[in-house]
Each structure stands twice: as structure tokens, then as C-alpha cells.
Structure 1
Amino acid sequence: MLIRSEALADQLAIDRLLKNVFPTEAEAALVRALRENGHNTLSLVACNDDGEVVGHLMFSPVQVGETDTGVQGLAPLCVHPDYRQQGIAAQLVREGFDTLNEFGYPACVVLGDPAYYSRFGFKPAADFGLRCKWDVPAEAFMAFEFAQGAFEQTSGEVAYCPEFDEL
């Protein structure tokens, strides 16, 4: 399995994957809009041995307390159903973390399953003084610091890019 940055030639394959994995086309539209509006910080793909895109992960900037602090939002993350339970999503997340950390981004937030994301070190965002803009279960909104103390000077409401409001 090869994990790499998204290339222009991958965009149609990513679009098909998102439409295949999610129940509606909302996530595919979200990814296209984030790309078109320059809100794609990092987009990774997982390719099988034939070079087919079988997994995708995107990070985009979020604002904390109406300030751009460099914190990134993880969403969406998906793997083709035929390739699940093989650790591909975990590889995408770890590679994403390594790349964002290497580029100096301080932290990441995610809205998702706490049982899944806690294994990567995500903790309840409320532990860092963060709250989600949307009315979501507190335990589903989580944060991860690439460097300890990344949220010490940052707290408040977290707002994803405006494209997420269309979901």
C-alpha cells in the first residue's frame, strides 16, 4: 500500500471513492469545494498495488476563537469497502500527522467516533478549552496536539471552513 499526497490526476478517483463510501454525495462536494476555494491543507491517498486510489484523507484549516492558529481539521477520511480492516485509514492518519507536524502545524481537531480516534491520541476537545461551532456530542469532538502545549494560548469555539456548513 502506497500512501502519498494527492495529485491532480487523482481527483476523479477520489470523487468516485467518496461517492461510493458515503451515503450521499455531500462529502465529495465538500472535498471539491475545499480544493476549489484553497482550503485543502493536506490531501493524502492510499493506492493499492495497481495504483488505484482506495483511501483518502483531507485536512483543512479551522479557526479557534475566530483566529487562524494553524490548527487543522481532519475530514473526511474514507477507505473503499473492499480494503477496510487492513489498517489503511490508520496509515493515512499517521502519515497526515507526521506531515502536518513536519510542516509546523500545531494541532488537529476531529469530529468522529471517540473509540476510533482516541487510539491516535485524540482527547476530548473540551479538555483543551475547545468547543465545536455545531451542536454535537461533546465526546465526539476531539483534539490532538502535535507539540505538547499547542492549545495553551488557544481556546474557544472551533469553526471549520465555511464549506462544511453546506453538509
Structure 2
Amino acid sequence: MLIRTEIGVDAAGIDALLRRTFPTAGEAELVQQLREDGLLTLGVVATDDEGQVLGYAAFSPVTLQGEDLNWVALAPLAVDESIRGQDLGRKLVFEGLDTLNEFSYSAVVVLGDPQYYSRFGFEPAVSHALHCKWPGSESAFQVYKLAEEAFIQTEDLAAQSESPAIKVEYSAPFDRFE
């Protein structure tokens, strides 16, 4: 199994993986739109010896109160059903976090199972006064700090705002999930 940054020839394999992994084509269409709009910050793939894509993690930019603070969102994360339970999701996430750290990104947010993502060091975003637009997502919305100053930046934003809560805004292609 090879884990690496995605390249152009992976697009069809990523699309196929997402369409067979999720119940609808929404995630596949999301990644395609992010790629077309130049909003795919990083894509990490896991391929077998024949080059078939068996795992994928996508990272795209988010803003905080409309400001770009070098934060990204992890979505989607997919592992082929035939190899689930082999820790591939963890490897994809950590490869992505390592790469983003090398490129000086500040933090990563994710909307997902808290039990799953807490194993990687994600923590509840609400504990840092962060929220997203999806109602009822408080327990699932989580954050991973890459840079020491990440939460200092959010404190500065909160101090400038009338509300202590900071809204993390995903890019327009995510609007399909409202």
C-alpha cells in the first residue's frame, strides 16, 4: 500500500472510491467541484500495487468569521470496504496532517464521529468557541491544532466580535449538504 499526495491520474479512482463508499454521489461531486474550483488544498490517496485507489482524504480551505487564517477542513475521508479495520483511515489522516504542518497550515476542522477523530488528537471545536453552520453539529464538529498560534488567532477574532463564538465557514461546494 502506497500513501501519497494525489496526482491527476488519481481523479477517476478517487471518484470511483467515493461513489462506492458513500450512499449517494454527494461526496464524489463535492471533491470534483472542489478540484474544479481550485479549492482542494490537499488530497491524500492510498493505492494498491496496481494503482487502484483504496483510500482518500481531502482537505480544503475554511475561513473564520470570513478571514483566511490558513485553516482547512478534512472532508471527505473514505476507505474501501474491503480493507476497513486495517488502520488506513488513521494513516491517511496523519499523512495529511503531517503535510499540512510542513506547509504551515494552522489547524484542521472536521465534522465527524467524535470517538473516531479524538483518537487522532481532534478535540471538540466548541471548547474553543468554534461552530459551523450546520445545526446540531456541536458534538461532531472538531478541531486539530497544527500551529501554536492557531487558538490565539481565534481569541483575537472573538475579541473583535460582538459574540465570543467564531463561525468556521466552509467553501461554497459544501452548501450541497445543507
Normalising by structure 2, we get a TM-score of 0.91
Match of 1:157 in 2: 167
- Paired AA for residue 142 in structure 1: Q
Segment drifting more, 61-70 vs 110-119: 61-70
1 CA distance for matches of 2:153 and 2:13? Answer: 40
Match of 1:136 in 2: 136
Runs of 4+ in 1 over 3 A off after TM superposition: none
Maintained 8 Å contact 2:5/2:42: yes
Match of 1:121 in 2: 121
Q: CA deviation at 1:90?
A: 0.5
1 CA distance for matches of 2:128 and 2:100? Answer: 19
Segment drifting more, 147-156 vs 87-96: 147-156
Q: CA deviation at 1:15?
A: 0.5
Q: CA deviation at 1:38?
A: 0.5
Q: CA deviation at 1:134?
A: 1.5
Deviations 1:1-42 (A, max 9, x none): 110111111101110110000000000000000000000000
Segment drifting more, 149-158 vs 126-135: 149-158
1 CA distance for matches of 2:3 and 2:84? Answer: 15
Q: The residue matched to 1:35 in structure 2 has which SS?
A: helix
2 CA distance for matches of 1:36 and 1:123? Answer: 31
Structure 1: any 5+ residue segments left out of the alignment? none
Maintained 8 Å contact 2:43/2:57: yes
Structure 2: any 5+ residue segments left out of the alignment? 159-165
The Cα RMSD (Å) is 1.0
Deviations 1:70-99 (A, max 9, x none): 100000000010011011110000000000
1:38-77 matches, within 5 Å, as 38-77=38-77
- Paired AA for residue 78 in structure 1: A
Normalising by structure 1, we get a TM-score of 0.97
Match of 1:109 in 2: 109
Match of 1:19 in 2: 19
2 CA distance for matches of 1:148 and 1:86? Answer: 31
Segment drifting more, 109-118 vs 126-135: 126-135
